Amino acid sequence: MTTEPLTEPVEHDIAAVGAVVTAGVVLLAFVVGAAFVVAQLVDLVSWFAVD
């Protein structure tokens, strides 16, 4: 029977940092998109508010 050589587990710090950065970019995109939608709604409402 052969046994696998024992190796130290590899830390995946780079992958974790990449995931955090990606999540931050996605959240920032949601915030920018929401701000754009709100700006468009305010502009639309202003058309109806003008006498």
Q: Report the distance separating Cα 6 and Cα 32, nearest Å.
A: 48
Residue 5 falls inside a structural domain: no
| Domain of 19, in residue numbers | 14-51
Whole-number pLDDT of residue 1: 61
Q: Using the structure block, give the residue that is written with the tokens 């109806």.
A: 48
Q: Answer whether residue 9 is part of any domain.
A: no
CA angle 13, 17, 21 (to 5 degrees): 170
3 within some domain: no
Residue 34 lies in a domain: yes
Q: What are phi and psi of 9, to 5 degrees?
A: -65, 145
Question: Using CA of residue 11, residue 12, residue 17, residue 23, what is the dihedral sign?
Answer: negative
1-51, pLDDT tens digit by residue? 677 777 877 676 777 888 999 999 999 999 999 999 999 999 999 998 875
Asked whether residue 6 is domain-assigned, the answer is: no
Query: Could you tell me if residue 49 is inside a domain?
Result: yes
Which pLDDT tens digit goes with each residue over 12-23? 677 788 899 999
- Please give the tally of structural domains in the chain: 1
pLDDT value, residue 7: 80
The verdict on residue 18 lying in a domain is: yes
For position 20, what pLDDT does the model report? Answer: 93
The model carries a pTM of 0.63
